[in-house]
Amino acid sequence: MAQHPGKAVRKVVIAGGGTAGWMCAAWFSKILRDDIDEIILVESEEIGTVGVGEATTPYIRVFNHHLGIDEDAFIRATQGTFKLGIEFVDWGRRGHTYHHPFGATGREFGSLPFHAIWLRDVLERGGSDDLGLYNLQAMAARRGRFMRPQGQNSPLAGIDYAFHFDAGLYAQTLRQFAEARGVRRIEGRIETVELTDMGNIRALQLNEGRRVEGDLFIDCTGFRSLLLGEALQTGFEDWSHWLPCDRAYAAPTRRAGAPAPFTRSTAMTAGWQWRIPLQHRDGNGLVFASPFLSEAEALDGFLARLPDGRLSDPKLIRFRTGRRKVFWHKNCVAIGLAAGFLEPLESTSIMLIQNGIARLQYYFPDTGFDPADIAAYNRAMSREYDDIRDFLILHYHVGERDDSEFWRYCTGMPVPDSLAHRLELFRSRGRIPEERGEQFRLNSWLAVMWGQGLRPRSPDPLTLSLDGDGLSQWLGDVREVIARCCDIMPAHEDFILRNCRAAVIQRQ
């Protein structure tokens, strides 16, 4: 049956004012300015936000840029620092460290991917197996350096980066932006969700008898998923059997030393610990799997490892890894934690919020809520969550760690077919096929598969006829260019002090 076109959506209601809610409000207040009558955001200070989420991926720059937010002003306002990637300590095996850097690794070699050439040199000729030497972001991270892209025809022109920031301050910045563009904020607790006979959401009932009607509802209520999950009863796909971490303790400490331009993730006996440098403090957190480590044991270990200068008591956050079976149902779209959560190992949540927003803009509905648009949105978002899920499982599944029940479980567990297939392809001839639209591309898969210790049985056959000495020489040149570029980059701290200093940087 043909779908009748509806009327224009005139009123958008955003439920929740965490990072997701205010990102939606800021974006749609700019994009829909001339198309709708009103955007209302309902939030409850009493309930509060999840209060973590300090590391990002480079896509956030696109979001801020489209809003017209000046980058230095944003860094100052959020106590931000720059991030060139993630350093993984003790992951593939104890005592081993590798970087998952942003940006390009190596450079083009005719029609062959860089890593095929490099693998030939490593596997057949004993060349350097230090992949980081071929990535400017990895080298700069190791040496504590940072600058923005500069010039042309050099790796310096392609520097790729993200940020660490105080998520609460980011939400405040976005709130100012959105309210200045007419978003109306209502302080109140959502008590019930009123549905029509057709199962659409008609209104939110708040405490003190208030009621908020709307055409389109965006559920940003966090883990509660009050609208899409609770009221509309869309099921949840639980991925805890693949990603068993389900708890975190987080606590800030006084800044110690110059801020590193990367997130550090250190593997522990039943999870991992993060360290995120901001300008005014360091963020620390322990992510762990409660079936393998009790909350009490986790807290003891976390406190024992915390550096001096704790600024608040550790906060415990309980979560479940997985996603909603659908993200958009009827007239309700869930974005942020209300849509699902993949643990923070690769800092993907804010990126998923951003992509949810971009897709909602693309498929923006009228009141007919055409099922074809909804299905396309759900398909694209599901695929994105599934791809990231596979990438995260890779970190746990591949590696030599067998020193705890947790690691034995992770390295021995069956993984999704989609991941098993990728691992087998790399094991065979080092191939990493790129799927369209994936957030983590060839260089990311390469860095983590190699870093975790996965090795191909033999190189790409098309590299075998190439002159080995010539290849070694060429690889040496690539390394040298990267090292020379790194030499001229300033220290990360100096770059911040010169361009976007937020406050006096405290030293221990």
Q: Is 222 in the site for ligand FAD (CB under 6 A)?
A: yes
| Integer Cα distance of 89 and 267 in angstroms | 6
Pick between residue 79 and residue 221 the one whose CB is nearest to ligand FAD.
221
Give the one residue of 50, 75, 216, 482 binding ligand FAD; rule: CB under 6 A.
50
Applying CB under 6 A, among 75, 190, 243, 392 the residue interacting with ligand FAD is 190
Tell me the pairing of strands 282-288 and 315-318.
unpaired
3-class SS string, 408-442: HHHHHCCCCHHHHHHHHHHHHHCCCCCCCCCCCCH
Of 7, 30, 83, 315, which residue is the catalytic one? 83
Both tokens assigned to 53: 């989420």
CB of 103 to ligand FAD, least distance (A): 19
Pairing type for strands 216-219 and 247-253 reads: unpaired
Whole-number minimum distance, CB 40 to ligand FAD, in Å? 12
Report in angstroms how near the CB of residue 253 gets to ligand FAD at its nearest.
16
Site for ligand FAD contains 336 (CB under 6 A): yes
Binding of ligand FAD by 355 (CB under 6 A): no
Structure token digits, residue 1: 């049956």
At 179 the three-state DSSP class reads helix
Q: Which of 31, 203, 317, 380 binds ligand FAD (CB under 6 A)?
A: 317
Please tell me whether residue 43 binds ligand FAD under the rule CB under 6 A: yes
80: contact with ligand FAD by CB under 6 A = no
Question: Is residue 429 involved in binding ligand FAD (CB under 6 A)?
Answer: no
Q: How far apart are CA 113 and CA 360, in angstroms?
A: 35
Distance between CA atoms of residues 477 and 470, nearest Å: 11
CB of 89 to ligand FAD, least distance (A): 17
Q: Does 19 bind ligand FAD (CB under 6 A)?
A: yes
Residue with tokens 């994105």: 384
Both structure tokens of 226: 């009050």
- Distance from CA of residue 246 to its chain's centroid? 17
Residues 234-273 that bind ligand FAD (CB under 6 A): 248, 250
Q: How far is the CB of 460 from ligand FAD (least distance, A)?
A: 35
Residue 214 touches ligand FAD, criterion: CB under 6 A: no
Sole window of 40-48, 101-109, 150-158, 398-406 interacting with ligand FAD (rule: CB under 6 A): 40-48
- Tell me if 253 sits within 8 A of 306, measured CB to CB: yes
Q: Tell the smallest beta-carbon distance from residue 264 to ligand FAD (Å).
A: 12
Q: Which two tokens stand for residue 422?
A: 């990728």
Residue 283 has φ and ψ, to the nearest 5°, of: -90, 135
Question: CB of residue 346 vs ligand FAD: minimum separation in angstroms?
Answer: 9
How many CB atoms lie under 10 A from the CB of residue 160? 18
Q: Is 20 in the site for ligand FAD (CB under 6 A)?
A: yes
Interior angle at CA 317, CA 315 and CA 323, nearest 5: 160
**319 is an interface residue for ligand FAD by CB under 6 A:** yes
Determine, following the binding rule CB under 6 A, whether residue 53 of this chain makes contact with ligand FAD.
yes
189 scored as a contact of ligand FAD (CB under 6 A) = yes
Shortest Cβ distance from residue 168 to ligand FAD (Å)?
9
Count of residues that bind ligand FAD according to CB under 6 A = 38
Is 315 assigned a catalytic role? no
With CB under 6 A as the contact rule, the residue among 284, 347, 355, 452 that binds ligand FAD is: 347
Which one among 25, 36, 40, 42 touches ligand FAD, defined by CB under 6 A?
A: 42
| Closer Cβ to ligand FAD, 282 or 460, answer by number | 282
Residue 153 structure tokens: 């025809």
Q: Is 165 helix (H, G, I), strand (E, B) or coil?
A: coil
DSSP of 286-350: EEE-TTTS-HHHHHHHHHHHSPS-B-S--EEEE---EEES-SEETTEEE-GGGTEE--GGG--HH
User: What is the token pair recorded at 392?
Assistant: 């995260």
| Cα–Cα dist 478/485, whole Å | 11
* Residue placing its CB nearer to ligand FAD in the complex, 166 or 373: 166
337 touches ligand FAD by CB under 6 A: yes
Q: Are 119 and 150 contacting, i.e. CB atoms less than 8 angstroms apart?
A: no
The stretches of 143-190 forming alpha helices (DSSP H) are 167-180
- Binder to ligand FAD among 221, 331, 444, 452 (CB under 6 A)? 221
**Catalytic positions, written as ranges:** 83
Binding residues for ligand FAD, per CB under 6 A?
16-21, 42-44, 47-50, 52-56, 167, 189-190, 220-222, 224, 226, 248, 250, 285, 317, 319, 336-338, 344, 347, 349-350
